[in-house]
Chain A
Amino acid sequence: MMIEMFSYAFMQRAIIVGLLVSLCASLLGVSLVLRRFSMIGDGLSHVGFGALAVATVCSLEPLYFTIPVVTVTAILILRISERSKLGADSAIALISSSSLALGVMAISFVKGTNTDINNFLFGSLLAVGKKDAVFSIVLSLIVLLAYVLLYPRLFAITFDEVFARSQGLHANRYTMLLAILSALTIVLGMRMLGSLLISALIIFPCLTSMRVFKTYKAVTISSGVISAICFFTGITLSYSKGTPVGASIVTIHLLVFIAFTIIGALKESGVFAKQK
């Protein structure tokens, strides 16, 4: 069955793009979660849905329309959360639900189109076309490269922003870059994995890893590995049982999270301590 799965061109595309996007999401997630920006991912994915719906209804190139919209929103959300710490949550919730509403409205106005809201929300393996695949691969490689090259600086800012700024790092620029990279990742992964579930790929790997690992490098590497394994298991499940791909992957993530929580608790209680 595995060989059969790999023999279809659309599956090959889905696997490569999905794997890269999952990796990007998990790495960016480490920074986002630790800086308490998890909500941004959630907000952006909803905006992505709205933009995707509008693009489809107006017959625009989906990626070319969605990327600028989501990127601008990312910058906007960041600005709002810098201004007022308290208002950020509600502002993001407002933007999320409004985008969702506008997207659904756009789709329902044009009854003739055979768009499927279900696919937009929960993802579809068939969503990745040939041109999109190349574009997605290039963009996600850029995201990965940027993350790896900026790793020492991103760590310094994530751990202690004020210290990093005192050392001459322009923390705001890096935060902006982080938001833009997240926006790109979300847009790239959204149609395949579903806009309601893509933000889980950002949050789950980091939170899961933190149950067991206590250093930044370990959490980062573990997040990457977990995201790859969960993606692969999820897509296989989806292919063989016909379950929606995004939901399958997130379900696997949930199971791994529970497993890591148990392992973490056992570790704390000293079950794995070396015998003296």
Chain B
Amino acid sequence: MKTLIKAEELKLGYEGQVVSSGISFSINSGDYLCIIGDNGAGKSTLIKAILGLHDPIGGKLSFVHDKKSIGYLPQRSDVRRTFPASVIEVVNSGAVNSLNRHFFLSRADKARALKNLEKMGLSGFERHSFQDLSGGQQQRVLLARALTSAKKILLLDEPVSGLDVHTASELYETIVNLNKEGMTIIMVTHDIHPALNSASHILHLGKKIFFGTREEFFESEAGKEYLKESGHHHHDD
């Protein structure tokens, strides 16, 4: 297994104010990591650190790949829902990281964007206006944009928040399929389902920091507490 990202004793925070510390984990190629934990436990700060938008104040975060090759799906609330843009314009913008010294997207970039849109089940929607789509469709368009920029890793921030149960489970299925195809997934979530059902690894942030496989997590103190708080009862197999 090839390690893509490795964090050692990471300390996160702003201007001396420590949000979270002692975070260690490693992400291997093909992993499906769920990052869970309470509000204010440092999940969004960790995302910023992984994306290279905010440096950690301590510890070491090392990348095998370039940071900008991570495909990022922001939280729904961070994306403007009433913006004049066509679906393909949004997906194409995922290729800005491969512009390098060029001014315009190459044909290969555009073809990749189109393929990713098809993969998300939205072929034929290229010319549609982004703002006219349903919440689930918008999320798929943004996932296609993330795929267009991703080389190896997708970083998903609360991908299903605000979506209805049916749309959410469809989106989870899509993410599992992407993972099966070899895409490494990092997902920040409030939702216990992907952590319980699909994740290969869990990183729990909060008072008790835990990193390990899913099985290890649900055997641990932190895992049992998390289950109890989420209203799920753990039954031993």
Q: Do A and B bind each other?
A: yes
Interface check A219, CB cutoff 8 A: yes
Interface check B40, CB cutoff 8 A: no
| Residues on the B chain within 8 Å of A164, using CB | 93, 96
In-complex Cβ contact of B149 among A34, A149, A167, A216 (8 A): A167
User: CB distance B72 to A152 under 8 Å?
Assistant: no
Number of A-B contacts (CB under 8 A): 85
CA–CA, A218 to B83, complex, Å? 12
Interface check A91, CB cutoff 8 A: no
Which of B97-105, B196-204, B213-221 touches A? B97-105
CA–CA, A219 to B89, complex, Å? 12
In-complex Cβ contact of B129 among A165, A209, A215 (8 A): A215
| Residues on the A chain within 8 Å of B93, using CB | 152, 155-156, 159-160, 163-164
Interface check A213, CB cutoff 8 A: yes
- A36 nearest in chain B by CB position: B80
User: CB distance B96 to A159 under 8 Å?
Assistant: no
- Name which of B78, B96, B129 has the most chain A CB atoms within 10 A of its CB: B96
Interface check B224, CB cutoff 8 A: no
CA–CA, A217 to B79, complex, Å? 19
Contact digits for A150-172, partner B, Cβ 8 Å, 1 yes 0 no = 11110110011011111111000
Min CB–CB distance A168 → chain B (angstroms): 4
User: CB distance A162 to B74 under 8 Å?
Assistant: yes
User: CB distance A169 to B96 under 8 Å?
Assistant: yes
User: CB distance A216 to B99 under 8 Å?
Assistant: no
The main secondary structure of chain B at its interface with chain A is: mixed
CA–CA, A152 to B145, complex, Å? 14
Interface check A83, CB cutoff 8 A: no
Q: How many residues of A contact B (CB 8 A)?
A: 27
| Residues on the B chain within 8 Å of A163, using CB | 72, 74, 93, 145
CA–CA, A160 to B80, complex, Å? 8
Interface size class of B (residues with CB under 8 A): 20 to 34
The main secondary structure of chain A at its interface with chain B is: helix
Interface check B51, CB cutoff 8 A: yes
User: CB distance A166 to B68 under 8 Å?
Assistant: yes
Contacting residues of chain B (78-111) with chain A, CB-CB under 8 angstroms = 78-80, 83-86, 89-90, 92-94, 96-97, 99, 103-105
User: CB distance A155 to B145 under 8 Å?
Assistant: no
16 CB-based A-B contacts, threshold 8 Å: A150-B103, A152-B99, A152-B103, A155-B89, A159-B85, A160-B78, A160-B79, A162-B53, A164-B93, A164-B96, A166-B68, A166-B70, A166-B72, A168-B68, A168-B97, A219-B84
Per CB-CB distance, the 5 closest pairs between chain A and chain B, nearest first, are: A214-B129, A168-B68, A215-B86, A167-B97, A166-B51
Could you list which residues of chain B lie within 8 angstroms of chain A, going by C-beta atoms?
A: 51-53, 66-68, 70, 72, 74, 78-80, 83-86, 89-90, 92-94, 96-97, 99, 103-105, 127, 129, 131-132, 145, 149
Could you list which residues of chain A lie within 8 angstroms of chain B, going by C-beta atoms?
A: 34, 149-153, 155-156, 159-160, 162-169, 209-210, 213-219
Q: A167-B96, A215-B84 are in contact. List 11 more A-B contacts (CB 8 A).
A: A152-B93, A152-B103, A152-B104, A155-B85, A159-B80, A159-B85, A159-B90, A165-B53, A167-B72, A168-B97, A214-B132
